[in-house]
Amino acid sequence: MRKAVRIAGPALLALGLLVGSPGVAQDSDADIKKEIQALKTGQKNIQRQLNEIKALLQKQKAAPAARSGPKVEGVTFNLGTNEVQGDLSATLTLLEFTDYQ
C-alpha cells in the first residue's frame, strides 16, 4: 500500500501542476479569443459576400429577359402536298428549345 502511495502521490502532483498552471490557462484563453475573433472576421466576410450575391440576383430579376429568335408570329407555313390531320385553319404554336445545358 505504501508503495502505491509513493507512486501515485508524485504522479498526481505532476498532473495537478500541468492542469492547474495559470500560465497554461492564460495561453489557452488568449488562443481561444484569437480563434473567436478569426471566426467573427470570417462570418463578416461571408455576410458581405452574401449581400453582394443578393444584390446581383436582384439586378437579374429587375432586368427582363430579352426574347431571342426570329419573330414568326402570324406567319403561314406552306405544307405542300404533305398529309394533314385536323382542321386546315387551326392555329399552331411551335416551341424551340436551343439551350440544353
Please tell me the total count of domains within the chain. Answer: 1
Asked, for residue 99, whether it belongs to a domain, the answer is no
Distances (CA, A) of 17 to 8, 52, 69, 76: 14, 52, 80, 95
2 domain residue, yes or no: no
Q: How far apart are CA 94 and CA 77, in angstroms?
A: 12
Residue 53 covered by a domain? yes
Please check the confidence at residue 94 and state whether its pLDDT lies above 60: yes
Integer Cα distance of 10 and 3 in angstroms: 12
pTM above 0.75, yes or no: no
Residue 40 lies in a domain: yes
pLDDT tens track for 53-82: 999 988 887 766 666 777 777 777 787 888
Which pLDDT score, from 0 to 100, does residue 32 have? Answer: 93
Is residue 7 in a domain?
no
Q: Answer whether residue 52 is part of any domain.
A: yes
Spatial contact of 24 and 18, defined as CB atoms under 8 Å apart: yes
* DSSP for 68-100, written as a single string: -S---TTPPPP-TT----S-TT-----------
Residue 88 lies in a domain: no
Is 38 inside any structural domain?
Answer: yes
- Asked whether the beta carbons of 95 and 69 are under 8 A apart, the reply is no
Highest mean pLDDT among 15-19, 40-44, 88-92, 96-100: 40-44
User: In terms of residue numbers, what domain contains 39?
Assistant: 24-63
> CA torsion 5→12→17→35, rounded to 10°?
180
Span 20-55, pLDDT tens digits: 555 545 678 889 999 999 999 999 999 999 999 999
